[in-house]
Amino acid sequence: MPTIGWFEILIVVAIAIIILGPKDFPIMLKKVGSWIGTTKKYINNIQNEVSNIDIENNNIQKKVDEEEENKDA
């Protein structure tokens, strides 16, 4: 996977300033930051839900295994 260095970021920022203008550039940075923050929250929420489902499945499997052991005894 290719990495993005400081020079590439500088080029993207320079092009964005030229296209958006220095007046609107900070506004766009705030919007992009907000989008990134919202996306991180959603991803974190999804990861927590999947983790909870996995924990619940493990607990259910343990109960089923214990019941099977008790039936065999």
Domain count, the chain: 1
pLDDT digits (tens, 9 = 90+) for 16-31: 999 999 999 999 999 9
* C-alpha–C-alpha distance, residues 33 and 51, integer Å: 27
Q: Is 28 part of any domain?
A: yes
How many CB atoms lie under 10 A from the CB of residue 42? 10
The pLDDT-based confidence of 72 (bands split at 50, 70, 90) is low
Q: Is 49 part of any domain?
A: yes
Q: Is 27 part of any domain?
A: yes
Q: Which domain holds residue 28?
A: 22-72
Q: Is 7 part of any domain?
A: no
Residue the block writes with tokens 């109960």: 63
Q: Is 3 part of any domain?
A: no
pLDDT digits (tens, 9 = 90+) for 45-66: 999 999 999 889 888 888 888 8
* C-alpha–C-alpha distance, residues 28 and 54, integer Å: 39
Q: Is 46 part of any domain?
A: yes
pLDDT digits (tens, 9 = 90+) for 36-50: 999 999 999 999 999
* C-alpha–C-alpha distance, residues 73 and 53, integer Å: 30
